[in-house]
Amino acid sequence: MASQHAQTAAQPSASFDADAVSTAYQSALEVIEAVEPGVATAIRSELSDQRASLKLIASENYASPAVLLAMGTWLSDKYAEGTVGHRFYSGCQNVDTVEQIAADHAQALFAAPHAYVQPHSGIDANLVAFWAILAHRVEAPALAELGANHVNDLTDDDWEALRRRLGNQRALGMALDAGGHLTHGFRPNISGKMFHQASYGTDAQTGLLDYAEVAARAREFRPLVLIAGYSAYPRKINFAIMREIADEVGATLMVDMAHFAGLVAGKVFTGDFDPVPFAHVTTTTTHKSLRGPRGGVVLCQPDYAEAVDRGCPLVLGGPLGHVIAAKAVALAEARQPSFQRYAQQVADNAVALADGLLSRGARLVTGGTDNHLVLLDVSTFGLTGRQAESALLDSGIVTNRNSIPRDPNGAWYTTGVRLGTPALTSRGFGAGDLDRVAELIVGVLAATSPAAAPSGGASKARYVLADGVADRTHAAVGELLAQHPLYPGLDLG
Ligand code: PLP
C-alpha cells in the first residue's frame, strides 16, 4: 500500500507518495548505475549526507520530490533560444508550455507585471537585469540620439561611443561586509566592470540599514541603478523608501530578493517590505527560501519587459527546459496555503534561534532577526568565523562563516557565522527545536579556543575543541534529526 508522507503544520512541504518516489529513484539509479556506477553512488551518498547533517546554511533548502523529478527529463534535450512562441528553433511547443506555466505562476505568486523564468541562477538573473536596465536606460536613448533605429545601423565610431556609455554607468549597492552580494557592482565580479560602484553600509551602533545615509549616498553619487537586497543582512528592508530614494535621483531600483523570495511568496513580507511593486526590476534565485530547483527569475515592470526577454541569447545560454519545468512545479507549490505556513515558520524559527542564542549570552549583528537568517558575531567567544565554522562542523552542525560589518578579520577568516532556517524548517523543525540548536551551538563555541599558529602567535584558523564535546553534540544532533527525517519514507533500496 502506498505510504503517504503526512503533512503537518510544522512540516508543510508538499506531501508525497513515498513508495512511488522510492520506486522512481530506485529504477532511475539502476539505469544510471549500469552506465557510470560512480555517479549513482555519489547520488546515494548525497542523500545520506544531507539526511545526517544539521543544515543551517541560509541559502540552501530541500526541494520536494516533484520538483526534483521534474528536472530529470528529455526537456533537457531541446534547444529553445528566444521566448514563448518566438523561438530561434522549431519544435519548441512543449518548452513553450512549461515556460508559460512557470511564468504565469511567477506572475501570479508575486503579483508581478512580467516574469522571465529562463536565468540559470541568481547571478545570471542579475546579469540579465543589468543588461536590460542598460539597454532600456542607455542603449535605446543613445541609439535615438545617434540617429539609429538598431545597433546594426551603427558605424564603428558610433559603437565606440555606445560602448563608452554602456560601460560608464554608476551603481549603488549594499556594502559586502554589510551583507550585500558580489554581483551588486563589486570588483572582481563583472558587475564591477560594467558599473562604477559605490556602496552604502549599515549604522555602526545598531547594525541596521540607515535610509538617510542611503539617500545621501544616492544624492552624491547619482547612480543609474540603486540596488537593494542582500545575502547576509538579518532584517527586512523598506522598499517604499528605497523607491523614493531611487525616484529622487532618477535611478532604476533593482532588488535582488534571492535570499528572501520565499518570505515574499509566503506573504511574510508584505506592504512596504514586498519589493515587487516598488522595484523596476526584481531578481531572485529559485532554490533558497523559495525551495525550488537551482535557478533564477527576473520580474519587472512592463517597460523593462522587452529588454529582459532578450536575456537569451544576449546574456544567457539556451534555456534549460527541464529546470524551467521544475521551477513551474516549485512555483505551483509556493502558491499553496501550506507554503505560507512554511514561510511563517521559517521566520518564527529564525526568531527562536536568535532568542536562544541571545539568552545564552551570544552577540548577534542587529541584535536579532526579522527574516530567515541570523548573523552571529563570534568575537565574544574569542574566535574567528573560520574557527567557529570548523568547530561546529566537527560537531555535526553545518554553517558558513561570514563577514560582519567592519569585520576586523577580513573576508577570508571573518568574525561572523551565518545561520539560516529554511532547510531545517522544510524538515519540520519547530521553534523548540531551534532553541535546542542554539543551546548546542553555544555549547560548542564556548568549548572552543584558538590554538597557536605553527609560527607562534594566535592562529585565525586553528582551534581546540574540549574533549568529548564534538561527540556529545553529534549525538544530540542525531536525536534532533531523527525526530525530523528528510524525505521520510524515501528508500533508495
Ligand atoms: N544574489 C544573492 C543576494 C545571493 O545571495 C546569491 C547567492 O548566494 C546570488 C545572487 C547568486 O545566486 P546563484 O548562486 O544562483 O548564482
| pLDDT digit string, tens, across residues 65-117 | 999 999 999 999 999 999 999 999 999 999 999 999 999 999 999 999 999 99
* Residue 49 resides in a domain: no
**Ligand 1, residues 183, 327, 373: which to mutate, most atoms within 8 A of Cβ?**
183
Share of the chain above pLDDT 70, in %: 97
Measuring from each residue's beta carbon to the nearest atom of ligand 1, which residues come in under 6 Å?
59, 121-123, 181, 183, 229-231, 256, 258-259, 285, 296
Please answer whether residues 220 and 213 qualify as being in contact, where contact means their C-beta atoms are separated by less than 8 angstroms. Answer: no
Q: Ligand 1 atom closest to Cα of 123?
A: 16
Ligand 1 centroid to residue 81 C-alpha, Å: 24
* Residue 51 resides in a domain: no
Q: Are residues 378 and 299 in the same domain?
A: no
Instruction: Report which protein residue has its CA nearest ligand 1's atom 11.
Output: 122
Q: Are residues 257 and 316 in the same domain?
A: yes
Which tens digit of pLDDT belongs to each residue from 341-377?
999 999 999 999 999 999 999 999 999 999 999 999 9
Q: Are residues 238 and 288 in the same domain?
A: yes
**Ligand 1, residues 182, 259, 323: which to mutate, most atoms within 8 A of Cβ?**
259
* Residue 110 resides in a domain: yes
Give the pLDDT of residue 13.
52
Mean pLDDT for 27-32 is: 98
From CA 185, how far away is CA 224, in angstroms rounded? 12
Closest by CA position to 138, among listed 169, 184, 115: 169
Q: Are residues 375 and 301 in the same domain?
A: no
Phi-psi region of 489 (alpha: psi -120 to 50; beta: other; left: phi over 0): left
Q: Which residue has the higher pLDDT, 441 or 457?
A: 441
Ligand 1 centroid to residue 174 C-alpha, Å: 14
The residue among 300, 319, 334 that closes a domain is 334
Instruction: Report which protein residue has its CA nearest ligand 1's atom 13.
Output: 122
Q: Are residues 355 and 329 in the same domain?
A: no
**Ligand 1, residues 117, 285, 289, 294: which to mutate, most atoms within 8 A of Cβ?**
285
Instruction: Report which protein residue has its CA nearest ligand 1's atom 2.
Output: 258
Peptide bond into 277 cis (omega under 30): no
Please answer whether residues 335 and 106 qualify as being in contact, where contact means their C-beta atoms are separated by less than 8 angstroms. Answer: no
What is the CATH classification number for the domain harbouring 137? Answer: 3.40.640.10
Q: Which residues pair with 416 in a beta bridge?
A: 377, 402
The residue among 334, 366, 384 that closes a domain is 334
Give the strand pairing for 458-465 and 114-116: unpaired
Residue 12 has pLDDT above 50, yes or no: no
Residue 7 has pLDDT above 60, yes or no: no
Q: Are residues 357 and 284 in the same domain?
A: no
Helix, coil or strand: residue 406: coil
By residue count, the chain amounts to 493
Please answer whether residues 232 and 402 qualify as being in contact, where contact means their C-beta atoms are separated by less than 8 angstroms. Answer: yes
Give the pLDDT of residue 133.
97
Q: Give the count of beta carbons closer than 10 Å to the beta carbon of residue 209.
A: 24
Residue 73 one-letter amino acid: T
Closest by CA position to 279, among listed 154, 393, 430, 110: 110
Instruction: Report which protein residue has its CA nearest ligand 1's atom 12.
Output: 122
Q: Ligand 1 atom closest to Cα of 295?
A: 15
Residue 149 has pLDDT above 50, yes or no: yes
Q: Are residues 329 and 342 in the same domain?
A: no
Number of domains in the chain: 2
Q: Which residues pair with 397 in a beta bridge?
A: 54
Ligand 1 centroid to residue 203 C-alpha, Å: 24
What is the CATH classification number for the domain harbouring 461? Answer: 3.90.1150.10
Which tens digit of pLDDT belongs to each residue from 228-238?
999 999 999 99
Q: Give the count of beta carbons closer than 10 Å to the beta carbon of residue 374.
A: 31
* Residue 398 resides in a domain: yes
Mean pLDDT for 369-396 is: 98
CA separation, residue 124 to residues 389, 434, 468 (Å)? 29, 34, 45
* Residue 185 resides in a domain: no
Give the pLDDT of residue 430.
98
Which tens digit of pLDDT belongs to each residue from 257-292?
999 999 999 999 999 999 999 999 999 999 999 999
Ligand 1 centroid to residue 397 C-alpha, Å: 22
Q: Ligand 1 atom closest to Cα of 294?
A: 15
Please answer whether residues 118 and 311 qualify as being in contact, where contact means their C-beta atoms are separated by less than 8 angstroms. Answer: yes
**Ligand 1, residues 61, 123, 190: which to mutate, most atoms within 8 A of Cβ?**
123
Residue 187 has pLDDT above 80, yes or no: no
Share of the chain above pLDDT 90, in %: 88
Please answer whether residues 392 and 258 qualify as being in contact, where contact means their C-beta atoms are separated by less than 8 angstroms. Answer: no
From CA 412, how far away is CA 145, in angstroms rounded? 47
Which tens digit of pLDDT belongs to each residue from 157-178?
988 988 888 888 999 999 999 9
Ligand 1 centroid to residue 130 C-alpha, Å: 15
The cell 551570544 sits on which residue? 362
* Residue 57 resides in a domain: no
Mean pLDDT for 334-344 is: 97
Give the pLDDT of residue 24.
97
Residue 309 one-letter amino acid: D
Q: Give the count of beta carbons closer than 10 Å to the beta carbon of residue 402.
A: 24
Catalytic residues: 79, 81, 256, 285, 288, 294
34 contacts: CB under 8 Å, gap ≥ 6? none
Give the pLDDT of residue 208.
97
Q: Are residues 99 and 151 in the same domain?
A: yes
Q: Are residues 101 and 233 in the same domain?
A: yes
Give the pLDDT of residue 5.
46
* Residue 20 resides in a domain: no
Ligand 1 centroid to residue 201 C-alpha, Å: 19
Q: Are residues 435 and 352 in the same domain?
A: yes
DSSP letter for each residue of 63-122: --HHHHHHHSSGGGG----EETTEESSS--HHHHHHHHHHHHHHHHHHT-SEEE---SSH
* Residue 359 resides in a domain: yes
Instruction: Report which protein residue has its CA nearest ligand 1's atom 10.
Output: 122
Q: Which residues pair with 87 in a beta bridge?
A: 82
Mean pLDDT for 389-415 is: 96
The residue among 278, 313, 334 that closes a domain is 334
- What are the respective helix, strand and coil percentages of the chain, to the nearest 5? 50, 15, 35
Q: Are residues 356 and 444 in the same domain?
A: yes
Q: Are residues 422 and 347 in the same domain?
A: yes
Cell numbers for 56: 543551517
pTM of this prediction? 0.95
From CA 365, how far away is CA 235, in angstroms rounded? 10
Instruction: Report which protein residue has its CA nearest ligand 1's atom 5.
Output: 231
Give the pLDDT of residue 167.
84
Ligand 1 centroid to residue 231 C-alpha, Å: 7
Phi-psi region of 289 (alpha: psi -120 to 50; beta: other; left: phi over 0): alpha
Residue 1 has pLDDT above 50, yes or no: no
Please answer whether residues 47 and 485 qualify as being in contact, where contact means their C-beta atoms are separated by less than 8 angstroms. Answer: no
From CA 44, how far away is CA 354, in angstroms rounded? 34
Range of 214's domain? Answer: 75-171+210-334
